[in-house]
Each structure stands twice: as structure tokens, then as C-alpha cells.
Structure 1
Amino acid sequence: MQPPVAAVIEAHGTLERLVAGVTDQQLAEASALPGWSRGHVLAHLTDNARMFARLAEHALRGDLVAAYDGGVDERNAIIEATAGRSAAEHRAELAAHSARLEAAWARADDEDWKRSVTFRNADLAATVWARWREAWIHMVDLDLGVRPDDWPEGLATHAIAFLLGRLPAGTRVYAEDVRRQWSVGGRPGTVVTGRVRDLAAWLAGRTPAVSPVAAHGLPALGPWPPHPPQRQNRT
């Protein structure tokens, strides 16, 4: 399956429009993520683009490099160091790194997407899907008007498949509006039903417009998918 480059570019455009009029004061205010200001969220989105661009540029040369040489500590330090930028600085850096990422992807051909990267021990194509998730999920976290109901249907179905491992074995997820289901391997157990975007939001730990339901209550969510990812059964 070809990675959704055009969809990510569209998401970048939506994000840039979302923050086009944001003020310094708004960026200093709390986001929907505990402990992070909107500036932290935007700093993360910007550096995430930089990181993926770096991986892509090296992969296209046949090089394998770490997402962050200093690991998660380096990632967190960059976010803390850049969260306090002015709104104008945030916009400029976001636009620059998003453009750099898109330019790197534009050089990839069908074989290049299979090149290995260290991010989640996957291939270059997987970073496109990851950036799609990052852009739309964190747009909700900015709390500037984008909600899970605004997510593209394809993003929602992808997010459900990606996050399915957060559910206990045997759980089945059914999106009634698109008549599609996913299941976690094991003896059949809980069935969770809802609209596709609501299911994706719930699995992502965000607030759905309408909570999904299950006969005996929603199951507790486990941690975000591990690195490297584990294969799940899906139907």
C-alpha cells in the first residue's frame, strides 16, 4: 500500500491554517495535553517533522540513523527549549520543517518506501503514516477548534488498526457508520461499538464526540503500541 503522502500534505495545510492567527498568549496557555502548553504541542509537531525529514534524507542515501541520537531525553529537551517561541517563530519553523519533510518524500520512488528506518524499526513508508497520525491527533490537542470529528475517515480507520494493541485479547471493535470491524487475537470477548472517528479518538486517548459503548463497560486501555510494533490480527 502506498503511503498517504498527499493526505499528510493536506494535514500540514490544515495545521498551518489552524495556527495562522494564533497569538503568543494563546500558545502560552494550556493545551489539552496535561503539562503541556499549546507551545509545547506545536514545538513537538515541528520537531517531529524535522526528525522524520532527517530519517528520510538519510534513508534515501542508504544510511540508517537514530531518530534522536540522545533518545527520548533529546526529544524532550528540544520540545522544552522551543516551546516558548513567539507565534511568528513557531509558524516559520513549522512551515520550514514541514516543507523539508515533503521535499524529502517527493524524491522517494516505490522502492525507496521500503528502505529501513530506525523509527519503530520500520520502513520509510511507515513514517508517512506516523506523521499523519501525529498531525491530526495533536491538532486536537492544540484545542483551537479541530476535533476528532474533523479527522479524515481514512485516518480514523488507520488509527484504530494502529492502536488496536491497546485493547485486551479477544476485544472486537465495530465501527457502525462504516460497517467495519477489527479484532484482537484471542478468545472472543468484549465488543466495542461506535462511530469510526469516535472509536479512533477513544483509542488515542482523546475525547470522542459520542463515547463508544460496550455491554459491560469499555475496557481499560493499555499503553501506546510498543517499539518495535507487534503484529495484531485484524479483520
Structure 2
Amino acid sequence: MRVPVTEVIDAHRVLARLVDPLDDEQVRAASALPGWSRGHVLAHLADNARMFARLAEHALRGELVPAYDGGVDERNAIIEAGAGRSAAGHRAELAARNAELESVWARLGDADWGRPVTFRNADIAATVYARWREAWIHMADLDLGVRPEDWPAELACHAIDFLLCRLPAGTGVRAEDVLREWSVGDRTGTVVTGRVRDLAAWMAGRTPATSPVAAEGLPALGPWPPHPPQRRR
């Protein structure tokens, strides 16, 4: 099974270089996410890696465990508790958690990627894609120079696949620079066009370099894909 492990490891390296020069004041500064400092974003990225490593470790033993035993409240508490770390503390925690996750993935054979996990009622492979999204999207949120236009084109295409459910039924999406098209069901409504990274940024609720366009105006975005996933009605 082809999963983007190498691409995620590359993203981890970019993230490490991005946070390497930060001082404590920069970590405490606001991120691009309302209500979150850069420390909140970094704490989330570190704990997200820990969580995915935990799921994979248990899946290798044939065990299903929740992403968080205490649900979203536990997740939020972990982020709040870690947000105030020093810059050095964030670097150390992020490096350790990324290394832990990469180490677990390195032990997986081809058949192991399909082992089920509770995250989105999917499999380990899906968590690799999720980590890829988390790393690049939140690097943009850190507001340290990485922008959606820096995202790999393949990641942008995957993000559009994942986020199509945010668009109304009948909406078409056309990436003019990579000549790819998507649609939500039968294409009967608005067609949104733009460059692939701009489309992905807009659909992810981030600021694109150039806004996508649609003849009828851009449609309103629905909520982020729910966890666990729900069948479209």
C-alpha cells in the first residue's frame, strides 16, 4: 500500500527548521489561528504525533483504543498544558514525538497499513495522510514564513479530496495549474477554479495567495469533516 510516509518525514524536517530559531517571546506570540498562540499550535502538533503513534502501536497488537480516552476535553487539556513550554521545550517535545511516530511507522509491513484504528474509523494509512495535512496546514498557522503556496502539490490535491465534503452538492472544483478536477456528486452547480494550492488553502479555511473564483461567487464552506465520519445525506 502506497502511503506518504517519506513526505510526512520531509514535512517534519521542514517544521524542525522552522521552529529552530524561535525564542520564548516568539512562541508566546499569536498564531494565525484565533485564540491560539504559536505555543498552542506546537503543542497540538507534538501531541498529534504522540496520538497517532499510540494508535499505531495498539493496532500492531490488534487493539483498538480511542484517540483520546477523555475525548476532546482531554485533547484540549493537553494542548493547554503544553502551550506554555519554552521554545527549547517545544523543540524537544516536537522532535521526540515526531521521532516516536516515525519509529513506529518504520516497523510496519505492507499489510499493516490497513490495520484498523478508531481515528475516523479508518486505518493506519489514513493517519499518515492526516499527519501530512496537520503538519503542512499548521505550519502555515504558525505564521513563520511557510504559506499555503509552499505546500507540495500532491498534498494540496489530497487536501481537496479530503475537504470536498465541505462544499455543497453539485459543486465542481478545477485546478488549472495541475489540470485536475473534482466534483461533489453530479456537477450541476457552481464550478470553483484556481491554482491547486489556492483551492486547498481556501477549502481548509486558510488564506490563499490568490483567491479561487466562481461565476456565481464562492460557495459557503460547511464544517470540517466530522470525526467519526458521517455518511452524506
- TM tier relative to shorter chain: over 0.9
Letter in 1 for 2:36: W
* Residues in 1 aligned to 2:231 and 2:211: alpha-carbon distance in whole angstroms: 27
Alignment partner of 1:163: what SS?
Answer: helix
Counterpart CA distance in 1 for 2:67 and 2:228 is: 13
Secondary structure in 2 aligned to 1:173? Answer: strand
Q: Name the amino acid aligned to 2:132.
A: W
Equivalent runs, 1:1-80 vs 2, <5 Å: 1-80=1-80
Percent identity (aligned): 78
Over 4 Å off, 4+ runs: none
Superposition deviation, residue 187 in structure 1: 5.5
Q: Is the 8 A contact 2:166 2:221 kept in 1?
A: yes
| AA at the equivalent of 2:180 | R
- Please give the per-residue CA displacement for 1:114-149, whole angstroms capped at 9, x wherever unaligned: 100000000010000000000000000000000001
Deviation per CA, 1:85-123, whole angstroms, max 9, x where unpaired?
000000000000000000000011111001000000000
Matched, 1:118 2:118: yes
| Other-structure match for 1:87 | 87
Q: CA RMSD in A?
A: 1.0
CA distance in 1, matches of 2:71, 2:97: 20
Match of 1:140 in 2: 140
Question: C-alpha distance in 1, partners of 2:85/2:16?
Answer: 16
Residue of structure 1 equivalent to 2:202: 202
Give the secondary structure class of the aligned counterpart of 2:110.
coil
Q: Contact 2:172 / 2:187 at 8 angstroms: preserved in 1? A: no
User: Given residue 200 of structure 2, which amino acid in structure 1 is its aligned partner?
Assistant: A
Q: Matches of 1:28 and 1:7 in 2, distance apart?
A: 29
Partner of 2:151: 151
Write the distance in 1 (CA, Å) between the matches of 2:53 and 2:17: 21
The aligned counterpart of 1:229 is 229
CA distance in 1: counterparts of 2:120 and 2:211, whole angstroms: 30
The match for 1:104 is: 104
Task: Tell me the equivalent position of 2:188.
Answer: 188
Deviation (angstroms), 1:216: 1.3
Structure 1 length-normalised TM:
0.97
Deviation string for 1:189-235 (max 9, x for gaps)?
00000000000000000000000000011000000012233578xxx
Q: Could you tell me how far 1:152 is from its partner in structure 2?
A: 0.4
Q: What letter is aligned with 1:121? A: N
Change (3 A) 1:231 1:6: farther
Between the aligned partners of 2:230 and 2:105, the Cα distance in structure 1 is: 26
Which segments of 5 or more consecutive residues in structure 2 lack a partner in the other structure?
none
Residue 3 of structure 1 and its aligned partner are, at CA, apart by 1.0
* TM-superposed deviation, 1:2: 1.2
In 2, the alpha carbon distance for the partners of 1:85 and 1:71 equals 23
Specify whether residues 187 and 194 from structure 1 end up closer, same or farther in structure 2 by C-alpha distance, changes over 3 A only. Answer: closer
